[in-house]
Amino acid sequence: MSKKVKAVSGDTLSRLNRINPTTNFLFNLMFLILALACFLPIIFILVISLTSNDVIRKEGYQLFVTARTFSGDAYSYLWGQRQTILQALWVSTYVTVIGTVLGVMFTALMGYVLSRTEHKLNNFLTILVFIPMVFGGGMTASYVINTQVLHLFDTMWILILPLMVSSFNVTIARTFFRTTIPDGIIESAKIDGASQWTVFFRIILPISKPVLATIGLFLAFGYWNDWFQAKLYIQNDSLKSLQAMLDSMQKNLEYLTKNPTALLTSATDLKRNMPKESVRMAIAFVVAVPIACVYPFFQKYFISGLTVGAVKG
């Protein structure tokens, strides 16, 4: 009798979970359109970067690259400026890697502490972390603290520290540790003589890959795409990232003409020979592709991390 009940229950669940073919087709079509909306701008940027600047000036942007419109002048120009480009790429990579590693570590530490209800200052610290999610100190206060108190102006650390920890990421970590990590695991480790550091690094972190990957992706995207910190605090050209260089080029096409590593004889010749529009798009493509290539490797953990706190069956 129980087998019959289980079979009927299984058939009922299968019928309830079955998706109508028409609905399934509409969902697939909707996701395809959304995917194209995210992917086509990258292709469009690549096409423009491979289009002759004369064609762009006379006929406007092209949707496809043909033998008549093709030109590799933009990438040839960037290769000629490889010293500047590689320096900016190194700054972006260094800031992204160091900032992401430190950010994940400190965010996980804060989230773990706030997830322990037995901590005496738990409520106070939770409120202290939550306040910046609602109220901000303002740009002036941040600028004064970073430049006059911490003396971070025109240093690499000004690109790392302000973005390293956010209340939102700490809240995600806190929710994950509180809802996913059983208290019994921590209590058993303490009974066996493990310290808090041992519990955190040898027990908690190895089973927290989803939330760590999610926070790591948020931080990596934030660091890689950030240009405002460099614009506000960096004057030394050797400390500017790819994003800051792109922003400077968008607002001032003569940015690269002032580069002392230029291979041409004068700024006038450099400005005359620079394929302006295609160079802009080439830089944008170079900026977008590396971080886009990172996402597929963390997709599994990222999706798991987004469901933190969901009902588990």
Tell me the per-residue pLDDT of 127-149, one tens digit each, with 9 for 90 and over: 888 888 777 777 888 888 888 88
Q: Give the residue-averaged pLDDT of 12-29.
A: 74
Amino acid symbol at 16 = L
Cα–Cα distance measured from residue 233 to residue 245, given in angstroms and rounded to the nearest whole number = 14
Two tokens, residue 173: 């970590």
The number of beta carbons lying within 10 Å of the beta carbon of residue 212 is: 20
pLDDT in tens, 272-284: 555 567 777 887 7
Which residue, chain included where needed, has tokens 């949707």? 63
CB-based contact 103:163 (threshold 8 Å): yes
Q: What is the structure's pLDDT at 103?
A: 94
Residue 10 pLDDT exceeds 80? no
Q: What is the structure's pLDDT at 270?
A: 53
Q: Give the residue-averaged pLDDT of 84-109.
A: 90
- Compare 297 and 152 and report the one with higher pLDDT: 152
Q: What is the structure's pLDDT at 135?
A: 79
Cα–Cα distance measured from residue 4 to residue 11, given in angstroms and rounded to the nearest whole number = 11
- Note the residue count of the chain: 313
Cα–Cα distance measured from residue 77 to residue 141, given in angstroms and rounded to the nearest whole number = 41
Output the CA–CA distances (angstroms, integers) from residue 300 to 4, 100, 209, 217, 307, in the order listed: 37, 19, 10, 12, 11
In the predicted model, what is the mean pLDDT of the chain?
A: 78
CB-based contact 234:217 (threshold 8 Å): no
Confidence grade of residue 115 (pLDDT, cut at 50, 70, 90): confident
Cα–Cα distance measured from residue 108 to residue 116, given in angstroms and rounded to the nearest whole number = 13
Confidence grade of residue 313 (pLDDT, cut at 50, 70, 90): very low
Residue 53 pLDDT exceeds 70? yes
Confidence grade of residue 99 (pLDDT, cut at 50, 70, 90): very high
Nearest residue to 162 via CA among 174, 147, 173, 177: 147
Residue 268 pLDDT exceeds 60? no
Q: What is the structure's pLDDT at 263?
A: 44
The number of beta carbons lying within 10 Å of the beta carbon of residue 187 is: 11
Confidence grade of residue 106 (pLDDT, cut at 50, 70, 90): very high
Residue 20 DSSP code: P
Output the CA–CA distances (angstroms, integers) from residue 310 to 17, 21, 128, 175, 179, in the order listed: 19, 27, 26, 11, 9
Q: What is the structure's pLDDT at 272?
A: 54
pLDDT in tens, 121-131: 878 888 888 88
Strand partners, 70: 51
Q: Give the residue-averaged pLDDT of 28-43.
A: 86
Cα–Cα distance measured from residue 212 to residue 206, given in angstroms and rounded to the nearest whole number = 10
Confidence grade of residue 299 (pLDDT, cut at 50, 70, 90): low
pLDDT in tens, 165-197: 888 889 888 888 888 888 788 888 888 888 888
Largest CA distance in the chain: 91
CB-based contact 45:281 (threshold 8 Å): yes
- Compare 250 and 22 and report the one with higher pLDDT: 22
Which residue, chain included where needed, has tokens 């502490």? 113
Residue 81 pLDDT exceeds 80? no
Nearest residue to 48 via CA among 227, 295, 293, 280: 280
CB-based contact 153:233 (threshold 8 Å): yes
CB-based contact 170:129 (threshold 8 Å): yes
Q: What is the structure's pLDDT at 33?
A: 92
Q: What are phi and psi of 70, to 5 degrees?
A: -65, 140
Nearest residue to 187 via CA among 174, 178, 196: 196
